[in-house]
Structure 1
Amino acid sequence: MLLEIKNLHVKYGNVEALHGVNIQVDEGEIVTILGANGAGKSTTLLAISGLVSVTSGQILFRGDALHRMSADKIVRAGITQSPEGRRVFSTLTVRENLNLGAFTANDPGRVRKTLGWIYELFPRLEERREQLAGTLSGGEQQMLAMGRALMANPKILLLDEPSLGLAPILVRTIFDTVREINRSGVTVILVEQNARVALKLAHRGYVMEVGNIVLADSADALLSDADVQNAYLGGKK
């Protein structure tokens, strides 16, 4: 098993956001986490990344305790995140944003190779490499956020709402690229409001409600589950 979350609790002040979450991710999978706003999906990703403190429970990456590591050590261990809302550095160029994603790398040759691969995945970024990130379209900024996360050559890529605010044709492009990234050997954990697209992409899925995992199954099984259809897929199609 590549990643295991065991009985995870997270609090924001006196409010508990996660109430004993259990998730397992095997190497090579795309695993999606579904749920309404406020269910705890993003908090789960932030806990994996070391960006929120764990109250109790464990996050294990190949048996190592991520919940005891700082955020930069988690990146060095092989886990990076493309955050909700993209959060690119708007006053820096595309190339400068990508270079920041490689801040943990110490092999210039590998950085160049990775940059070339990202430009193959996202040709638009190469075209815009000297353009300020703040002047990019929403879709281009999403590509940049994903490319920046990939610059560290992660074993696991965390994607938080990659389709948010994008036109349908761009959503298709982004998810086709996620599939290609996964085929290259990167395991993906995907938080996504577009449940139907996410489940068609993923191998397995978890459904969260108010800080709890309430359902876990293969993506195909979740797609055909009547409760999931009614709650997240707009009824049976």
Structure 2
Amino acid sequence: MLLKIENLRVNYGNVEALHGVNLEVNEGEIVTILGANGAGKSTTLNAISGLVNITGGSIFFRDTALHKLPAHEIVKHKITQSPEGRRVFTTLTVQENLILGAFTSTNTERIQKSLKWIYELFPRLQERRKQMAGTLSGGEQQMLAIGRALMANPKILLLDEPSLGLAPILVKSIFATVKEINKSGVTVILVEQNAKAALKLAHRGYVMEVGNIVLADSAANLLINEQVQQAYLGGGH
């Protein structure tokens, strides 16, 4: 097992956002976390990344206790996140944004290799490499956010709402690329509002409701689960 979360609790002030979440990810999988807004999906990703303080429980990456490490150390363990809302550095070029994603590496050859791979995954970014990130379209910024997260050569890529605000044709393209990334050996944890697209892509899924995991199953089973269909897939059969 690559990642194991046990009894994870996170508070925002006096409010408990996660009430003892348990989640497992095996090497090579795409695992999706579904749920309504405010269910705790992003909080779970942010806890794995070390971006929020956890108040209880544990997160293990193989034998490493991630819950005891600061965020920059977690990146060194090859766990990177493409955040919700993209958050690219708008006043830097595409290439400068990507290079920043490799801040933990001093190996120039490795960085160039990663850059080459990202430009192969996203040819549009190569065309726009000298352009300011702020001038890119939403879809291009999403590609850039994913590319930047890939620059650290991750073992686990955390994707938070990659399809948010994108046209359907772009969503299709981003998801096809996520499949390619996974085929190259990167394990993916995907938080996504577009439940149908996420389940078609993933191996397994978890459903969250107000800080709890309420369902865990194979993606194929969740796609035909009546409860999931009614809540997230727009009705039953």
* TM-score normalised by length of structure 2: 0.99
The aligned counterpart of 1:132 is 132
CA distance in 2, matches of 1:78, 1:104: 10
C-alpha displacement of 1:154? 0.3
User: What corresponds to 2:42 in structure 1?
Assistant: 42
Q: Distance in 2 between matches of 1:63 and 1:33?
A: 23
Q: Which residue in 2 is equivalent to 1:220?
A: 220
For residues 96 and 106 of structure 2, what CA distance do their matches in structure 1 show? 17
Q: Match for 1:218: what amino acid?
A: S
Partner deviation per Cα, 1:71-118 (whole Å, 9 max, x = no partner) = 000000010000000000000000000000000012110110010000
CA-based RMSD of the aligned residues comes to 0.5
Q: C-alpha separation between the residues in 1 aligned to 2:197 and 2:129?
A: 29
TM-superposition CA deviations, 1:132-186 (whole Å, max 9, x none):
0000000000000000000000000000000000000000000000000000000
| Aligned-residue identity in percent | 77
- Structure 1 runs of 4+ aligned residues shifted over 3 Å read none
How far residue 235 of structure 1 moved from its aligned partner, in angstroms, is 1.4
Runs of at least 5 residues in structure 2 that lack an aligned partner in the other structure: none
For 2:4 and 2:38, how far apart are their aligned partners in 1? Answer: 22
What is the alpha-carbon distance in structure 1 between the residues aligned to residue 79 and residue 54 of structure 2?
17
- 1: CA distance between counterparts of 2:64 and 2:149? 21
Offset at residue 236 of structure 1 (A): 2.9
AA partner of residue 59 (structure 2) = I
2:15 corresponds to: 15
Partner of 1:25: 25
Question: How many angstroms apart in 2 are the aligned matches of 1:113 and 1:7?
Answer: 39
Structure 1, unpaired ranges of 5+: none
Offset at 1:31? 0.1
Q: TM-score, normalised by structure 1?
A: 0.99
Written as runs of structure 1 = structure 2, the 5 A alignment for 1:60-209 is 60-209=60-209
Distance 1:120 1:49 in 2: 27
Aligned length: 237
